[in-house]
Each structure stands twice: as C-alpha cells, then as structure tokens.
Structure 1
Amino acid sequence: MNSIDSLSLPSDYGKYDDDVMVVGPGARFLSGIGYHTASMVNAFAKCGHSVSALLIRDLCPRWLYPGRDRIGNHGIDVLRLAEVPISESLDWYWGPSILRSIAFLRSRRPRVVILQWWTAVTAHTYLLLALLGRLQGASVVIEMHEITDVGEASIPFVSAYAKGMMRLIARLTNGVVVHSNTDIGTMQTAYPTLAQLPVSVVFPGPLKHSEHREHVTSTVEGGGTGSEITRFLFFGIIRSYKGIDELAAAFTSLVDDGEAVHLTVAGEAWADAEAALSVIRKVESRHYRIVSGYIPDEEVTQLFESTDIVVAPYRRASASGPVNLTMEAGLPLVTTRVPALEEACRDYRGVLFAAVEDPDDLRAVMKRAMGMVGSRFHNPHGWDANATEYFEFFDRLMTRDIDSSDLTASRTT
C-alpha cells in the first residue's frame, strides 16, 4: 500500500483537467534536459493531449553550477514551447516560488504528473509535488533521464541523500520511464525502492535543435589547399566521461598520420576536460576549432550542416542528446559500445562502434567512418511514436485490473 492510501482525500479526488503535467528544467539553467522536456511537451500537445509544463527556474545555488556564467542568459522562448499553460516558477530554495507552483498544480489538475529526474537537487521539491499530485488523484511518473549524475555519484553525502529521498518519492510514485533496457538494471541498483514499480522504456526523440534543417554537402574544401577534409564534430557539454580524452588522442594520431581531417569541439567545457583540450590545441590550428560555451540553436544547426561525421565516444551514458541530433540529421556517427547507446542506435544504419576508453580503436573506427561521408541515414526514433508510448503506459498505470506483470512490460522497438 502506498502512503497516499492512508491520507484523507478531497471530495473532488480523481477529477482531471490536463492529461499530463511535465515537470522539468526551464531556460534559466539551460541544458539538453530542458530541450528534452520541451520536446516532450510539444509532442504531447501535437498529438492532441491537454498538457501543461511546470518548469524549474533556479536549479541550485549559482556558485555551485559549472556553467554559472550563462545562467539567466536566455528566456523561455529559446525552448520554443507550444501554446500550452506554462509556469516557470520552481526554485530549489522554495519561498514564494513553491506557493506559485502549488497553485499551478492545483489549477491544472493533471491526470499524470511526470517528473524529470537527472539530479538530486530536485529531490525535496519532487517529493512535495508527488505528494500533492497524488492527493489530487494524479498518477506520478518519474522519468530517469540521468539516473545518477557523474559528479554527484562521487560525493558520498549527496549519493546517500538521493537514495534516502528516493525511498520516500518511490512510495508516492506509480511508474518509471527509462531510456533503455540497460537503464532498468542501473536504476534498480542505484534506487532499489523503484525496483517493484512498473517500468516503460522510451528512447528519447530528437531535440528542438534539429527541426526544420536542410542537409548540405558533407565534404568541403579544406583551408585553401584544394584537398577535401573530413570534418568531425564533438558536440555538447565537454566532460571527461564523454570521452574527450580518448578523442583527443585518436584525432591527434590521425593528424600525425597525415590524414586530411578537421575536428570541431563545441560546447561548455568542464574542468576535467582541460587536459584533453590542451592536447588538441597542440596540433596545427587549421585542423581544429574549439567553440567554448553554450551554443545557440541557430549555431547548432550550422554545426551539423557543416559536419561530415559526429563523434560521441562516451565512457558511460543513459541517453545522449548529441546522438539523437546526429540520427535526426542522418549523419554518420561514431560512438562507443556503452550498452544504452548500443540499444538506442541498433536500428540506425549510420553508426559505427568503438571500444570504450580505447583511443586506438576509436582512431580506427573514425578512419572507417571516413568512407561513409556523404551518406544519409533514416532516424528510427521520433516524438509522435514516443507520445503514443508514454500515453499507453499512463493508461496502463490508471487501469487497476490489469495484471501487474503486464504493467512491467518494456517498450518493444
């Protein structure tokens, strides 16, 4: 029995106005998960569902955030949300913001509240929202976009705090969405209290950056030399766990061997990436470009239009925005044999896999991928199909006479 069953429920329990309310980050602390949240909201609205969005405005104290210099640089318009009810009012420190958020939840009365999980910073707020949602008769679903943040996992206190809070949240949760079958085991190991809940696997669809693009010729003349250069792209937050160290070694080896290659590294660099970026900077400047900081939408489009091959050599991952963007663009992709990424890309014919944390194998696979330049490939994932999968799962959660074994069925591809 969930703890909600022992509470006194209001007389209008179970009466709904919205089909679903999505809770996730807004534009102030802009990141890939914000674009994922916006894409989900838009997909639900496009399919005719009544949907609202409750967005986090202040995620954490500014001084704790690695990308603190760009906090607040963008308004909510950057997310290009559909014309749906929106409240960008959640703050980690609560105060008046939590009252506005509670009022928004009460006014929208969603049938389902879906909470985007990627950091323990949201745990105390999600606990309250889960409780209030259940009191209004809503089903509460946690979407594990990032099961454990790499940085947080290394801090014993934060890890213990997340596990403790999740034990409480799980008692108010009806189901969990993950992005790969591999993530089910990872989630259950990290948060055992979620192990008995119904689970659905929904691979992420393309992010907003990739809409309304036109493909261009993928090879360009290089630097006035008259020879064609193969242009590689590493895109997104630049961190060690995303394989930037292996890429630096593999790429410089290609350059040393006289290959006509160019690498663009574009994104927000964290401290653990500086050593790899220094290695890349040692090659001749005509072979590389480093674009530091947040990349606006229009520049993301330009990056992918002027790229031949995307390289995403993760050491670990649950999902990947750059991989999704690559598949939507139809470009050749070099990534690593991380189980979740192998799942996500198994129906994408433009992918080549390298061994994890192996710069020599990465170099060899990048060389093989150069033979795929100019080809375009079909994206096996899309938001229309995803929206259907979400709502089929929501409906199963609301139907109490279905056998519990059916509720735990994962997505079939």
Structure 2
Amino acid sequence: MTGTDRPRLARIALVGPAHPYKGGGARHTTELAHRLSALGHEVAVESWRAQYPAALYPGTQTVDEQEGTPHPGTRHGLAWYRPDGWWRTGRRLAREADLVVLTLFSPVQVPAYLAILAGARSLDTGTQITALCHNVLPHERRAVDVSLTRALLRRVDGVLTHSPEQAHLAEGLMGPERPRPAMAPLPPHLPDTGGSVQGPPGERRHLLFLGIVRPYKGVDLLLRALADGAPDDVTLTVAGEFWGGTDDLAALARELGVADRVRLRDGYVPASELPGLFASADAVVLPYRTATATQNVWLAHEHGVPVVATRAGTLADHVREGVDGLLCEPGDAADLARALTALYTPGEAERLRAGVRPVDPDPYWRDYADRLLKA
C-alpha cells in the first residue's frame, strides 16, 4: 500500500483467545496483534479468563507453556458466566477503539459478541465492528448455530473470511442488502517449537496425523488407507485431542488388522513435542473430509516434512503436488490409499522431502492486514 491507499493509523481492539488459551486461534489473535502494532496501530487484545463451559469443549482449554510471545496489550476480563461484563466491555471498547474485531471460531461465542455489540452501539462513537470468521459455521452444525451466526453477521459493519467458500457461506447468512464479505487467506501463525530435530537418514516408514480428532478430519479414512495402501511395515501416529475418545478408532484399527501399527496419542500436543513427532515421520497426512483453513501444511513444511492431503478447503493451495506433497480427493479412502502407495514408491518420500521449503509469512500478513482494515 502506498499514498492514499494506506489506511490511517487506528486504535484497534481484537476480541478473541490469547495465551493461556491454546492452539491456532490464540496464536492467530496474538500474531495479528503484533503485526498490526508493527504497522503503527495502537492495538489491544480483549481476551478471556473463562471462554467456554467445560461441557461445551471436551478437552483442555489452556496450557502452561507459551507458544509464542504474548502481546503486551492483552487483557483477560471476559468470562462466559458473566454476561453483565460483556455489555460493559462493549461500551468501554467503543470509547477506546476505532475498530473492534470479533474473532469468530464457534457460535458459542455469539451471545457474548451480541452483547458486546449492543454495549458498543449504545454509545455514538462511530466505532466500526468487524467479524473475523475462522469458521462461519461449524463443520458439525446445529440449527441454532445458523440462527446465532446470522444474527451476528447482520449486525456488524464488516466481515472477513478465509476462503471463497466461507465468503459465499457468510454472504448467504448476511442477506442481499449487506455489503459482501471480504476474503483473505489465513496467514501463517506457527508455534515456537524451538526449531527442527534432525531425523534418521532415509525413510522412517512412519506417518503422522496431528490435530484435534473429529469426524470431519477423516482419521477413519486414514486407517482404511493405511490398511489398503501402505506397506505392511509402515506405522502411524495419530496425535491430538480425541473428541469422543479413542474407543471407536481403536476398534476400527483392530477390525482392519492394523492395531499393532497405529499409536493413538490422546491429548493436546505442546509445541515442545512437535519437533520429535515431525522428525519421526515420512509425511504428515491430512485426510480431511471438509476444511476451512489449517496451519498444519505449513507447520509440517517448517519442519522439513512433506504432506499428503485431500483437496478439501484450502489444503491444496499450500501443497505443490509432486514437489513437497501429494493430493487426493476428500472422503475417498481408496484415493488416499493410492497416494500412500505412491509415497512409498522407492525414493519418492525422500524426493518429496527434498522439495519442502518453509513458508515466508510476511507477504501473507501484509495482504491480510490490508484486507482486514478495509473490510
């Protein structure tokens, strides 16, 4: 941006998770705050001291180990059990900020965001409010999710999404009278893992799935593909929080005859454990049925590991097929088995490893900040 195209410096409040909350959402909010601050904006992060009731998030919500540098302007005043504080926060942000960004991950957040909106709108300060949609709607959704998200998107001044499909979904909820949502690819916001670990030379004969394990991630398809498409000595680690437990996948592995080749490592994976997991793998496999955006392709490439992924969502945008990874069709265990067979063609895994390059985050973030401020 140059000249008159450059947005004026602004006071910006980001409402969303930050450390000690874990995972990509907290890292994105924090990295966005740092990037906007580096552009000269006055930035604050309005985070949570209690984000979700435990019954709505069947996993560990917070971590002790920091996965990056916290933003100095971070407050932890919001709590799901104090709705009176939501409205007061909105009024305060209307006085303190020119732009409020509500980071949307789940419709569970929407009641708090509607109250923040109401508080901000009760003062005529001209503060603009944008919804930054990591997920417009959940992958596994209920009717109330649509109603809640529609109510939010029709009340904010702008909407930013991370893919054309998500922009189209948001547009349908907003109605024809509203401005079209903006779209910007999700930029890299990788955890600080302390650097890569050098693995053994040659093939590891091992695959890795990393992340929260939910039905849309397709781990069941990966087990079927492992049984049908990978050599009998190739093993798999599934590492992450299993929503619903490990019993069903363990039973499927036994049924397919691969239980002795599969390790189900249940629980959040801290950043310090990631280098060892990546060093042990020939490839990270992302067998998603559906996807919005994920950091796991870039995270694998940061550690020198190729990726086998489906073409769901934006996954294919980050994989150079035949150069640093292989692609297959979503929801198709047979096509995933084909890709694993190709991966273990003699010399192929090492050839793909040699093609891996870490991502340069700066161009992504420059574009992202520009589109957010214009949204």
Q: TM-score, normalised by structure 1?
A: 0.76
Gaps of 5+ in 2: 1-7
Deviation at 1:355, TM superposition (A): 1.3
> Per the alignment, in what secondary structure is the counterpart of residue 278 of structure 1?
helix
Deviation at 1:207, TM superposition (A): 3.0
Deviation at 1:35, TM superposition (A): 2.3
Answer yes or no: is 1:213 the counterpart of 2:195: yes
Deviation at 1:87, TM superposition (A): 0.9
Residue aligning to 1:390: 368
How is 1:195-214 mapped onto 2 (pairs within 5 angstroms)?
196-209=178-191, 212-214=194-196
In structure 2, what is the Cα distance between the partners aligned to 1:346 and 1:198?
31
Distance 1:381 1:342, change over 3 A: farther
In structure 2, what is the Cα distance between the partners aligned to 1:149 and 1:84?
31
Gaps of 5+ in 1: 1-15, 221-227, 398-413
Query: Please, which of 338, 360, 363 is the counterpart of residue 334 of structure 2?
Result: 360
Query: Please, which of 208, 230, 237 is the counterpart of residue 205 of structure 2?
Result: 230
Deviations 1:358-388 (A, max 9, x none): 1111011022234133324234551x32332
Deviation at 1:62, TM superposition (A): 1.6
Residue aligning to 2:30: 38
In structure 2, what is the Cα distance between the partners aligned to 1:309 and 1:22?
35
Deviations 1:255-306 (A, max 9, x none): 6x53x31211100001286423333356566633221111111012322233
> Per the alignment, in what secondary structure is the counterpart of residue 377 of structure 1?
coil
In structure 2, what is the Cα distance between the partners aligned to 1:211 and 1:105?
34
Deviation at 1:181, TM superposition (A): 2.0
In structure 2, what is the Cα distance between the partners aligned to 1:194 and 1:31?
35
Q: Do the aligned partners of 1:348 and 1:377 also contact (CA within 8 Å) in 2?
A: no
Deviations 1:42-85 (A, max 9, x none): 33334443321111332332223221xx245x25x625344421
In structure 2, what is the Cα distance between the partners aligned to 1:219 and 1:57?
45
Residue aligning to 1:180: 163
Residue aligning to 1:24: 16
Distance 1:100 1:23, change over 3 A: same
In structure 2, what is the Cα distance between the partners aligned to 1:124 and 1:316?
26
Distance 1:203 1:215, change over 3 A: farther
How is 1:106-185 mapped onto 2 (pairs within 5 angstroms)?
109-133=96-120, 135-151=124-140, 153=141, 155-163=142-150, 165-166=151-152, 169-173=153-157, 175-185=158-168
In structure 2, what is the Cα distance between the partners aligned to 1:117 and 1:61?
17
Query: Structure 1 residues 294-303 or 97-106, which shifts more?
Result: 97-106
Q: Do the aligned partners of 1:264 and 1:289 also contact (CA within 8 Å) in 2?
A: yes
Distance 1:330 1:97, change over 3 A: farther
Q: Do the aligned partners of 2:301 and 2:356 also contact (CA within 8 Å) in 1?
A: yes
In structure 1, what is the Cα distance between the partners aligned to 2:279 and 2:188?
16
Percent sequence identity is 24
CA RMSD of aligned residues (A): 3.1
Distance 1:277 1:47, change over 3 A: farther
Answer yes or no: is 1:336 the counterpart of 2:325: no
> Per the alignment, in what secondary structure is the counterpart of residue 13 of structure 2?
strand
Matched residue count:
360
